[in-house]
Amino acid sequence: MRFQSLGILGVILALGSQSLRAQATSANDAAMALEPNAAVLERGKAIFRLNECNYCHGIDLTRAPRGARADLKHSPLVGADENGNLIGLAVLNGLPMSQTSMPRFGDVITPDQLVDLAAYIHFQRQAERYKELTALPDRPGDREEGKAYFNGTGQCTTCHSPAEIAGAVKKLAAPALKENTLRPTAPAAANPRFDEGYRAHRKMVERITDDEFLNLLAYLNSLRP
Amino acid sequence: MFVELSHPHGKDSQGTRIIMISRRNFVRAAVGGLAAAALPRHAFGMEAAFDRNARIGGLDFGVQTFSFNGLPNGDARIPTIIKCMHQVGITACGIQSGHVEPPGRTETGWWITDRNLPGMRESRERARQWRLTVPSSYYTDLRSRFEAEGCRIDYFGMNFNETFTDAEREAELKAAKALGVKACYASIRLDECARLVPFVQAHQVRIAMHNHNNIHDPQEFGTAESLEKALAMSEYFMVSLDIGHFTAGNNDSIAFIRKHHDRILNVHLRDRRKNNGPNTRFGEGDAPLAEVMRLIRDEKYPIDCFVEYEYGTLRTPVDEVNACFDYCRSVLT
């Protein structure tokens, strides 16, 4: 185990040129500072590969098509996970009831490794869902459903009032609104409230469904004067 | 100590080229490297000399193309498989339908648990129409491509399920005939076997059941009992026994092979821990790989041995498949 830990550290050092951090270069500098710790992600990626997760799930979570049990991009369990508390149930105990049962990794993955693994899975899921959501075809969503999401499931009112959102929306063209909803633009000055919100939006990207997103956009666009 | 190696022929889409070596293993590797220097076949960075006689210790070996994970899609896929086989120096393969059919066709398999998602029905129908309309020359040409490179396809993996129409089942058996394989192998359920009986009887194509290790659902091939039920349905039903999965389901591979050696076409060599444990490097898990290979050799059972590499690693698939075959050589010679 000592050598395995050293090995993972070595991987982190050696993979410098292929850093996961580099995948997020399109975000602005302030937002970059809010990305998950690169060392954690590199460790998580190594654990993902060393434990054969990539065979069924794909190293970038794209191997299993939508609708497959191994599809981590859209799995509600992964979406609801916090630091491996739910992912760990499957990883440590396995899923013996599926046809090619997911093996049990309880003897080989430590609790610390599980946290890193979960961070990597969430990061990849956010990246892949971001791509999917931004590529959604322009079809009209349901404004009322979007409003219900804004006030309910999405918990948007935790940070935003409809009046504040209406003010923001009128400054943004539709494409910019779409982008800003998924990945808010950082303010020029440091703002702890933005930091908290940015992380909340990352979670939203993971959890929101295609229909919910289109409905939310329909609602937000309806707030234009 | 960590060593970075470049793999000029590696096809791992992830691009990671790092292996970890402990001090103990580094010494082993160094000693092994000196020995390997005397052998032309294992020159680092060079393509292995192609071994057309893939027999090790008197056994016929092959590789599951599943082992070469991270294969490219499109036109580059088959050449990459063949190149990997050359690098490993193996002649025979068991190829899965997902490596033969166009991308997207694989979304028809058992791993899809939600078939009511938007677009799924249309996707399934497109796959069906492709299978029903593809000319047999597609498969004969594929066979020729392998043969032209000194390789051959011995087994064709097709995972029939309840979404297949009868016409589709028939088309896949015809595809297997066009490929000229010894048999199909299939990760399927017992209830699908019942549907397949009239078709295998009519077309006289053998289907070897590939087990996994779901021991909770009697319809799944996770135990000796479920495999025996399939064998009783038709003389064209055989077994492709995955030693690793069988072990993970806490089954006895040796006893099963002794009892059913005349109905087992091949074994898939894989190592796993018991109790649904993970895959491991060959020789590090609980699967009796060495005992199985020696049993087949000593009893002269006509059972092929196909490597199916799936454990976690940071090395390339070709490197790991080579390591699997090295293990097989080590226990047979």
Give residue-wise pLDDT tens across range A18-77.
Answer: 444 444 444 445 555 567 789 999 999 999 999 989 888 988 898 887 778 889 999 999
**How do the domains of chain A map onto residue ranges?**
2-134, 143-222
pLDDT the model gives residue B53 = 53
Secondary structure percentages of chain A, helix, strand, coil, to 5: 60, 0, 35
- Cβ distance A35 to A21 under 8 Å? yes
pLDDT the model gives residue A24 = 40
Kindly tell me if the per-residue pLDDT of B8 is higher than 70: no
Distance (Å) from the alpha carbon of B18 to chain A's nearest alpha carbon: 7
Q: What contacts B114, CB < 8 A, 6 or more positions away? A: A67, B120
Report which residue type is found at B3. V
pLDDT the model gives residue B99 = 92
Please state, for a pLDDT cut of 70, what percent of chain B lies above it.
79
Positions of chain A with pLDDT lower than 70, given as ranges: 1-34, 99
The pLDDT of B310-314, averaged and rounded, is: 91
Distance (Å) from the alpha carbon of B121 to chain A's nearest alpha carbon: 12
pLDDT the model gives residue B251 = 98
DSSP B287: S
CB-CB neighbors (< 8 A) of A18 in chain B: 15-16
Is the CB of B16 inside 8 Å of chain A's CB atoms? yes
Q: Is A105 within 8 Å of B278 when comparing Cβ atoms?
A: yes
Q: Is A67 within 8 Å of B114 when comparing Cβ atoms?
A: yes
Here the tokens at position B211 are 């087990």
Q: Is B314 within 8 Å of A51 when comparing Cβ atoms?
A: no
Kindly tell me if the per-residue pLDDT of B191 is higher than 70: yes
- The mean pLDDT of chain B is 84
Write out pLDDT tens, residues B116-167. 666 778 888 888 999 999 999 999 999 999 999 999 999 999 999 999 999 9
- Closest residue to A64, CB basis, from B13, B111, B215: B111
- Cβ distance B297 to A33 under 8 Å? no
The pLDDT of B28-42, averaged and rounded, is: 39
Distance (Å) from the alpha carbon of A223 to chain B's nearest alpha carbon: 29
Q: Is A7 within 8 Å of B279 when comparing Cβ atoms?
A: no
Q: Is A65 within 8 Å of B278 when comparing Cβ atoms?
A: no
What is the rounded distance in angstroms from the CA atom of residue B157 to the CA atom of residue B110? 13
Is the CB of B272 inside 8 Å of chain A's CB atoms? yes
Q: Is A103 within 8 Å of B110 when comparing Cβ atoms?
A: no
Q: Is B69 within 8 Å of A54 when comparing Cβ atoms?
A: yes
Band the pLDDT of B112: cuts 50, 70, 90: low
What is the rounded distance in angstroms from the CA atom of residue A143 to the CA atom of residue A219? 4
Q: 3-class DSSP state for residue B140? A: helix
Name the fold adopted by B50-332.
Answer: TIM Barrel (3.20.20)
User: Hey, of A54, A59, A99, A124, which one would you mutate to test binding to chain B, going by the most B CBs within 10 A of its CB?
Assistant: A99
Q: Is B314 within 8 Å of A18 when comparing Cβ atoms?
A: no
What is the rounded distance in angstroms from the CA atom of residue A191 to the CA atom of residue B156? 59
Distance (Å) from the alpha carbon of B117 to chain A's nearest alpha carbon: 7
Is the CB of B275 inside 8 Å of chain A's CB atoms? yes
CB-CB neighbors (< 8 A) of A4 in chain B: 20
Q: Is the ipTM of this complex over 0.85?
A: no
The pLDDT of B38-49, averaged and rounded, is: 39
Q: Is B115 within 8 Å of A67 when comparing Cβ atoms?
A: yes
DSSP B115: T
Estimate to the nearest angstrom the gap between the alpha carbon of B125 and the chain centroid.
27
**How do the domains of chain B map onto residue ranges?**
50-332
What is the rounded distance in angstroms from the CA atom of residue A222 to the CA atom of residue B196? 56
Q: What contacts B148, CB < 8 A, 6 or more positions away? A: none
> A62: nearest CA in chain B?
B70
If you write DSSP's letter for every residue of A17-80 in order, what string do you get? GG-GGGGGTTS-HHHHTTSPPHHHHHHHHHHHHHTTHHHHH-TTS-SSPTTBTT--SS-HHHHH
- Cβ distance B214 to B253 under 8 Å? no
What is the dihedral sign for C-alpha A22, A26, A29, A32? negative
Reported CATH class of domain A2-134: mainly alpha
Between these two residues, B103 and B222, which has the higher pLDDT value?
B222
Kindly tell me if the per-residue pLDDT of B65 is higher than 70: yes
What is the CB neighbour count within 10 angstroms for residue B141?
11
- For chain A, the residue count is 225
pLDDT the model gives residue A11 = 40
- Cβ distance B273 to B235 under 8 Å? no
- Cβ distance B284 to B324 under 8 Å? no
CB-CB neighbors (< 8 A) of A59 in chain B: 13-14
Rg (CA), chain A: 19
The pLDDT of B282-287, averaged and rounded, is: 98
Distance (Å) from the alpha carbon of A15 to chain B's nearest alpha carbon: 8
